[in-house]
Chain A
Amino acid sequence: AQSVTQPDIHITVSEGASLELRCNYSYGATPYLFWYVQSPGQGLQLLLKYFSGDTLVQGIKGFEAEFKRSQSSFNLRKPSVHWSDAAEYFCAVASGNEKLTFGTGTRLTIIP
């Protein structure tokens, strides 16, 4: 069965520092991979997705993610975080065509 692991429950980063959020997936075929962000009290917003081609994917709000098949990973990165990036981040994989399977999320705290 498809699964997604986000090993970091909570990460704290200083404003202006770089960020990397980890995501590992388990899926037999070529995966469709997604990153979503959830601000407090809000729904989830799509940051970026990967399905083929260039393994480095650019998204909104200055985020990017790199697909590494050999490591079954799809880590999210940002060169310099802003206080407004504080949120919860979810990685997801398409489980066949019908649904997405989500990780348990990583909560990001930004300190001044």
Chain B
Amino acid sequence: NAGVTQTPKFRVLKTGQSMTLLCAQDMNHEYMYWYRQDPGMGLRLIHYSVGEGTTAKGEVPDGYNVSRLKKQNFLLGLESAAPSQTSVYFCASSYATATYGYTFGSGTRLTVV
């Protein structure tokens, strides 16, 4: 019973490098989300998807791109990493609307030097 799986769990990038974070869920959930968590700021929504092939911007989308080509996967890309993107990134999914609540992954700790 995997739930929501995030890879990698840790990563160190140099400024200007690119990378992709992968989120996979095996619960047949429709909605998927990417949040970032920073001390004292709670969780801030980066992008989300309400179904396969759809994406939408959240609260802090700049510097990130996403894709949802398959229902079970939601990818978060950083094209040119900046130190301000040092954070812990969480993926979450919801059965249908957000009113069902989220299931979270265990997070990816990203450091940009």
Contact = CB atoms under 8 A, between A and B. Distances in A.
Interface of A: 9, 32, 34, 36, 41-46, 49, 51, 90, 94-100, 102-105
Contacts, number: 57
Given A32-B98, A44-B104, A46-B101, 7 more contacts: A34-B101, A44-B43, A49-B101, A94-B97, A98-B56, A99-B45, A99-B98
A42 B4 CA distance: 12
Interface in B67-101: 90, 92, 97-99, 101
Contacts of A46: 101-103
Contact of A98 (B43, B50, B107): B50
Nearest to B31: A98
B99 A51 contact: yes
A43 B105 contact: yes
B33 to A, nearest CB: 7
A73 B106 CA distance: 29
A9 B90 CA distance: 21
A45 B50 contact: no
With most chain B CB atoms within 10 A of its CB, the pick from A42, A44, A49, A51 is A44
Contacts of B99: 32, 51, 94, 97
A102 B101 contact: no
B58 interface: yes
A43 B58 CA distance: 20
